[in-house]
Structure 1
Amino acid sequence: MLAATFLAMIVIAGAVMFINRQDDAEQSATPATPDSASVNGDDRPTELDRLGRIVYVPDNAAGDVLDKTSETSEDAAPDVEWQRLSRSTEITIARDYPFSADAGPWEVTDGVAHGFAHSSQGAALAGIHAFLGVGQGGEKAAQAMKQFMADPEAKKAAQHMLDNPMGPQSPEAPWTSTFAAYTVLSHDDDSALIRYACPAGEGFSQVDVKLVWADGDWQLAPGAAVSQNAPVSEDEVSSWLQL
């Protein structure tokens, strides 16, 4: 059972990002840096993602969680600060995570930022954190699985990897996606289905992530939580909530 669950984790971590691998590799190999030592009085190092958005590079490997504020309308995208928790190397592509004062994450446990608003906004940001976290490989991926996988067998597989560091581990997916926008396909108190738009080639691909509210936070739903890529038009993406 652990072997089957381990294989499922690999599929979730890698298959959906495949279409964006080469695009992000080219974009992230030499990240640009704004011509400024400070952005809005913030002295943390900054880089730019492939969409030209400012990305902070925190000292904390789990990211800098923001002070919680009141939640905003779910009809609008949350106010997001992007943080680069994994920088580009010759074999690894940068992974950028969204942090929000009004949607989370607000906590860090075992090096994993979590604790999202019980709203569609919180689900949207949690889906990105879960997706990227599981794709890190090694101990970081196992910690992310423990935090973000609702399936008890997945949590058991993650703990098994942590308890046996010399045994088989989740491989690192050497690519990532830039998340440009999202739309909420369904949402209630117990579950959410979020569709994301990720730049791919000259257009966008869509990624669907299903989450459930469990143990006081959003987690990836058991089973096929992540769907395959499909093209989506720029006009359609323009009507979604922009990140």
Structure 2
Amino acid sequence: MSENEDQSPFGRGFVAACIVIGAILACGGLLIITGLSSDASSAPSPASLPAPAGAGSPIDPGSPVAGGPATPAGTARSATPGSEDPAGDSGRDGVSRCGLPDGDQAIPASAPAVDGWEVTRRVVVPRSTAYGPGKVDADGFRRCFAHSPTGAVFAAYNTIGAIADQRKAVATAGKLMLPGRDTVALIRELRSEPVSDSSDSAQPVAYRVLDASRNRATVMLAMPVETAFVSATLTLAWYDGDWRVVPPPAGEAVGAPFAQRRDLDGFVAWSGI
């Protein structure tokens, strides 16, 4: 463990951090699966999942599709176009839904170039004609990112913006999450809960790509809280021509594990604020 990461996750600073981050990543029922079951042993791989009718369509709760387990975080590596990875198979030979070129498959070790930074749901997120988003829905949901590790980083930043408005939790989960049994259960859970008016948000200011293959990427994001930072980890899978967030196991929040950090050592600083 790095000296810049607190030994105990239960320090007062970490609790304060979780109050802020948890508001959009864990609390209020948004993107957290509690008491939901997942039979990973019988679940088909994401490569066998049927493509949804539309990229922006909420998932039908009656759908039989099931998502695969997340890839454990590991040492970062480049994604090569010829690598085999069944997770997140697009069903379209990896082609972006909006025609964005794949681009460089190397993990971005320095801050990617952007066309600009925009505010979505109170979060400042990157925009690029090369990496996405290629489309913004009428409700503000941003989608269609390049099929590359850099595209996955853009998608991860935009994920934080997407989940910031809990009033749109059901629609957002349907568009954002990788189709599967956990996501279907999550949407059912969200529909059973009262709509939250929370407007809390967290702002990513740095990233670290923990692992990346052709169709899967694990990205850690750092967000400032008071005088320190809290990190959250997102695993994204390439599915139906775009990056989708892999839902967590039952009982865990999207973004877990969280960690308090004193500085951004090991991260690539990247922010529009």
Q: Please tell me the TM-score bracket, short chain as reference.
A: 0.5 to 0.7
CA distance in 1, matches of 2:180, 2:231: 28
> In structure 1, how many angstroms separate the alpha carbons of the residues matched to 2:187 and 2:138?
12
Give 1:172-187 correspondences, 5 Å limit: 172-187=197-212
Q: Which amino acid aligns with 1:242?
A: W
The 3-state SS of whatever aligns with 2:230 is strand
Distance in 2 of aligned mates of 1:145 and 1:136: 11
CA 1:101–1:95 in 2, change beyond 3 Å: closer, same or farther?
same
- Cα deviation 1:21-75 (Å, max 9, x = unaligned): 69xxxxxxxxxxxxxxxxxxxxxxxxxxxxxxxxxxxxxxxxxxxx968846633
- After TM superposition, the score normalised by the length of structure 1 is 0.58
Instruction: Return the alpha-carbon distance in structure 1 between the equivalents of residues 137 and 187 of structure 2.
Output: 14
Structure 2 unaligned residues grouped into runs of 5+: 1-14, 23-98
* 1:16/1:207 contact within 8 Å kept: no
Distance 1:168 1:175 in 2: 18
Residue pair 1:190, 1:213 contacting (<8 A) in 2 also = yes
Q: Deviation of residue 82 (structure 1)?
A: 2.1
1:93-242 equivalences in 2 (<5 Å)? 94-109=122-137, 111=139, 112-138=141-167, 140-153=168-181, 156=184, 168=193, 171-224=196-249, 225-234=254-263, 236=265, 240-242=268-270
Equivalent in the alignment of 1:42: none
- Correspondence for 2:111: 77
What SS does structure 1 have at the residue aligned with 2:154?
helix
For 2:198 and 2:20, the matched residues in 1 are separated by 12
| Residue identity in the other structure for 1:134 | I
The whole-number CA distance in structure 1 between the counterparts of 2:170 and 2:239 is 18
Structure 1 gaps, min length 5: 1-14, 23-66, 87-93
Question: What secondary structure sits across from 1:142 in the alignment?
Answer: helix
CA distance 1:104–1:137, change in 2 (3 Å): same
Residue 18 of structure 2 is matched in structure 1 by: 18
Q: Which has the higher helix share?
A: 1
1:133 Cα offset (Å): 1.5
Q: Name the residue aligned to 1:51.
A: none
Secondary structure of residue in 2 paired with 1:184 = strand
Structure 1 counterpart of 2:223, one-letter code:
C
- CA distance 1:218–1:203, change in 2 (3 Å): same
TM-score w.r.t. length of structure 2: 0.53
Equivalenced residue count is 173
Distance between the aligned counterparts of 1:159 and 1:231, measured in 2? Answer: 29
Q: Output the CA distance in 1 between the equivalents of 2:221 and 2:17.
A: 12
Stretch moving more, 167-176 or 210-219:
167-176
SS at match of 1:227: strand
Which residue identity does 1:101 align to in structure 2?
Answer: T
The one-letter code matched in structure 2 to 1:126 is A
Shift of 1:144: 1.8
Distance 2:127 2:244 in 1: 17
1:150/1:214 contact within 8 Å kept:
yes
Residue 108 of structure 1 deviates from its aligned partner by 2.8
- Helix, strand or coil for the counterpart of 1:234? coil
